[in-house]
Amino acid sequence: MSRLALPLAPLAVAFAAGIALAPWIPPHAMWAVLAAALAASVLVLVLGQAVHALVPLLAAIAMLGALRATPAPLPPDHVGRLPLPITARVEARLAAEPIVWAPDRARLALDVERVDGVVRTGRILIGLYGPPPPLAEGQRLAIDARLERPLGFRDPGVFDAAARLAREGVHVTGSASAARVVPLEPPAPPWPARVRRFALAAFAERLPSASAGLLGGLVLGDRTTLPADVQDAFRRAGIFHVLAVSGFNVALLAAPCGRSRARPAAAGGPQRPAASSPCSALPPSSGPSRR
């Protein structure tokens, strides 16, 4: 490592430490420590003791990291300021294509416009129960939903889903019957959504139903047509996640692996794995042993 990079290491560590400490430090204390540390740094420099300015400077940088990790306060009209839980009529715009878990299960990400006729802002996640109507990204709709705050597990060391949603700007979740969804305008999906729908239709047209459902899950995270027994098999194997967020990455890796496992050599020579393949280091497939 170059010595020129070493002076930045304490600054980076201090900033990271501030981010880690952010949940336990009140915002007013962060500002107080930041002001005091900056004042101490300036004072030490004025007195000609530059060597002793490092500690207050690192403290100031740590507080900058803590302030960076502290979420901004919600605006007055944010949906997260409502007295939850409540049942309300929400008018909103679809922020993304609906995520369909099953023919009667879906999740909507909504950018709120009104709640019970009052102007509101913020994003909410709604779980739908029952076959949903045709919906597309950017479409305005109204829905009668039960709104509540996200809940996370309180066990130490367990993944905190509520904290993750808060970092993504989601402070309210909810549930509703699909029959309570009222489109306020016809669907007009943007081109990425149209391409996705075209790909799913092409899979269904050219492949058997199970294969089309599996490919749609691996590449696009859509499990609508995937048979229940196949989903259960993925769950039992502990690899259900490849059908969702990481599925596309798995597909990108599997494609070159499948094509380059072995290439025929000229003049009847032994088969060799492609040297440029990312899978060339993998062991060859099982076959008859040679002695």
User: What percent of the chain is predicted at pLDDT more than 70?
Assistant: 72
Helices 228-237 and 209-220 sit at what angle, rounded to 10 degrees? 50
| 50 pLDDT higher than 90 | no
The region of weakest confidence among 223-232, 242-251, 257-266 is 257-266
What is the C-alpha radius of gyration for the chain, rounded to an integer number of angstroms? 27
State yes or no: pLDDT of 177 exceeds 80.
yes
pLDDT at residue 21 in the model = 86
110-159 confidence digits (pLDDT tens):
999 999 999 999 999 999 999 888 888 888 999 999 999 987 655 555 56
Specify whether the CB–CB gap between 189 and 145 falls below 8 A: no
Nearest Cα neighbor of 257 from 276, 241, 240, 238 is: 276
Per-residue pLDDT tens for 272-290? Answer: 444 444 444 444 444 444 4
pLDDT score, position 128: 92
Spell out the residues 6+ positions from residue 187 whose beta carbon is closer than 8 angstroms to its own: 134, 135, 136, 139
Read off the pLDDT of residues 80-107 as tens digits, 9 standing for 90 and up: 899 989 999 999 999 888 887 777 888 8
**Residue 207 has what pLDDT?**
81
The backbone region for 73, taken as left when phi is positive above 0, alpha when psi lies in -120 to 50, beta otherwise, is beta
**Which among 89, 88, 128, 91 is positioned nearest to 108, based on CA atoms?**
128
Distance CA 40, CA 56 (A): 6
What is the dihedral angle through the alpha carbons of 87, 89, 179, 228, rounded to the nearest 10 degrees? -60
pLDDT at position 146, please?
Answer: 94
- Contact (CB, 8 A) for 150 and 175: no
**pLDDT confidence tier of residue 7, bands split at 50, 70 and 90:** low
| Cis, bond preceding 187 (omega within 30 deg of 0) | no
Helix (H) or strand (E) holding 76: none
Q: Is the pLDDT of residue 1 over 50?
A: no
The three-state secondary structure class of 83 is coil
Q: What is the pLDDT of residue 253?
A: 53
Q: Which residue has the tokens 């996370």?
A: 152
User: Is 267 a residue whose pLDDT tops 90?
Assistant: no
